[in-house]
Amino acid sequence: MQDLDSDKTRETNDKIKHYISSNLAGLNEQSRNYIKDIVVLINKEIGINKIVSLLLFGSQQVDKENTVVSDCDLLFIFKNRVSNRHLKEIERYFIALEIKHKFKEPTSKLFRKILGVIQHSTGMFVSHFLTKQKFWEEAIFYKIFRVNRFFSALFAPRSIVLGNVIQNSTILFGEDLRNSIRHKIKITVREIFRSTVMNLFISFFALLIGPRNELNSIKYQLEAIKWSLKASNYYCYEDSELLDKIVERFISFETPKQRAKAERFYSKFLELRKNPINDLKFMIISPLRILRIHVKAITFRKLTKKKVSQESFHPNDQMIDRHHFPLTF
- In angstroms, the CA 8 to CA 28 distance is 32
Quick one: 60 and 108 in the same domain?
yes
Quick one: 217 and 327 in the same domain?
yes
pLDDT one-digit tens code per residue, 218-235 = 989 999 999 999 999 999
pTM here is 0.80
Quick one: 287 and 152 in the same domain?
no
β-strands 73-78, 51-57 pairing = antiparallel
Quick one: 74 and 108 in the same domain?
yes
Q: What domain range is 322 assigned to?
A: 187-329
3-state secondary structure of 28: coil
On whether residue 1 sits in a domain, the answer given is no
Q: How many CB atoms lie within 10 A of CB 71?
A: 20
Pick from 138, 170, 186: which residue ends a domain? 186
In percent, the amount of the chain with pLDDT more than 70 equals: 78
Quick one: 221 and 177 in the same domain?
no
| Helix locations, the chain, DSSP H | 2-22, 29-45, 84-100, 109-122, 133-137, 141-145, 149-155, 158-167, 189-208, 217-237, 243-252, 256-274, 280-313
3-state secondary structure of 2: helix
Mean pLDDT, residues 95-117? 69
pLDDT at 124 over 50: yes
